[in-house]
Amino acid sequence: MNADLGSDRLLAPDKLEAELRAIGAVRYHHLHPFHKLLHAGKLTRAQVQAWALNRYYYQAMIPIKDAHALVRLPTSELRREWRRRIIDHDGDGPGKGGIERWLKLAEGVGLDRTYVQSTEGILPGTRFAVEAYVNFVRDRPILEGIASSLTEMFSPDIIADRVRGMLAGYSFITEETLAYFTPRLTQAPQDVDFALGYVKQHATTRADQEAVLAALRFKCDVLWAQLDALHFAYVEPGLIPPGAFVPEGK
């Protein structure tokens, strides 16, 4: 629990930012054992496939989540700013954008594109967590929707770590396979500049600020629960739920 809960004093914007960063320090999924294994080159190709397959669903739903945010943004200026995120993921033509690059990553680790796109083999835990995120942005005030995007504050570090670790640790991973991540290193900070500025400016009551902090905790849970499901099914104890992806030779 937040030690400041119960207080009704408004936090200075920089103090709010510090509280947001403190949440990331203890709840962001760079701390999850699955990521530690992934980045240390300790997973099998089958386990990396399971990660790519499940994470695809998250990537594929991001523009839907962002379209729900567009619905709630009141001005052209705000919608233009947010629209960039949709363009980043959907691209500006066939074969472009983040979702397409994720499909290339999935193919690069040996998965069939059509199977990945069907999302047939993803874990129920993945599906429920991702849909919780989409529904959150659909159903909550836009201040909370924007705040829930702020896990991107913590992503450049994990991406740099991941790319370095995966290239070093897995013979079946090439720079081309990981091309998804390169533009994210510049897109994420740009997105964060806007979103962090927005919540610092628009959270004008202590209740708003608490809602912003809760939204970021929620989003950390969404990311963490996806790795819990992966780790449970494919690492330890390795119990794949009925109907989910079974790697070859398993």
Residue 4 contacts a copy of itself per CB under 8 A: no
CA-only gyration radius of the chain, Å: 18
- The smaller minimum CB distance to a copy of itself, of residues 34 and 198, is found at 34
User: Which residues inside 29-58 make contact with a copy of itself, applying CB under 8 A?
Assistant: 31, 33
Structure tokens at 52: 């790519």
Using CB under 8 A, which of 92, 114, 239, 248 touches a copy of itself?
A: 239
User: Which residues inside 88-127 make contact with a copy of itself, applying CB under 8 A?
Assistant: 123-125, 127
Task: Measure the CA angle with vertex 102, ends 172 and 215; round to 5°.
Answer: 125
Residue 243 contacts a copy of itself per CB under 8 A: yes
The kind and range of the H/E element at 222 are helix 206-234
Residue 221 contacts a copy of itself per CB under 8 A: yes
Contacts of 212 (CB under 8 A, 6+ apart): 16, 20, 143, 144, 147, 199, 203
Contacts of 35 (CB under 8 A, 6+ apart): 29, 158, 162, 227
Rounded least distance, CB 70 to a copy of itself, Å:
20
Residue 26 contacts a copy of itself per CB under 8 A: yes
SS3 173: coil
- In whole angstroms, give the CA distance from residue 46 to residue 97: 26
Q: Where are the alpha helices (DSSP H) in the chain?
A: 13-27, 33-39, 45-72, 76-90, 98-108, 113-118, 124-139, 142-148, 155-169, 181-202, 206-234
Using CB under 8 A, which of 38, 100, 228, 245 touches a copy of itself?
A: 228
Structure tokens at 136: 């959150």
Q: Are 57 and 111 in contact (CB under 8 A)?
A: no
CA 225 centroid distance within chain: 11
Rounded least distance, CB 241 to a copy of itself, Å:
5
Number of residues that bind a copy of itself (CB under 8 A): 30
Residue 220 contacts a copy of itself per CB under 8 A: yes
Which residue bears the tokens 């600020």? 209
- The smaller minimum CB distance to a copy of itself, of residues 198 and 224, is found at 224
Residue 232 contacts a copy of itself per CB under 8 A: yes
Using CB under 8 A, which of 212, 229, 234, 245 touches a copy of itself?
A: 229
- The smaller minimum CB distance to a copy of itself, of residues 29 and 184, is found at 29
Site string for a copy of itself, 180-219 (x = CB under 8 A): -------------------------------------x--
- In whole angstroms, give the CA distance from residue 90 to residue 95: 9
Using CB under 8 A, which of 181, 215, 222, 247 touches a copy of itself?
A: 222
* Contacts with a copy of itself, residue ranges (CB under 8 A): 26-27, 31, 33, 123-125, 127-129, 131-132, 135, 217, 220-222, 224-225, 228-229, 231-233, 236-237, 239, 241-243
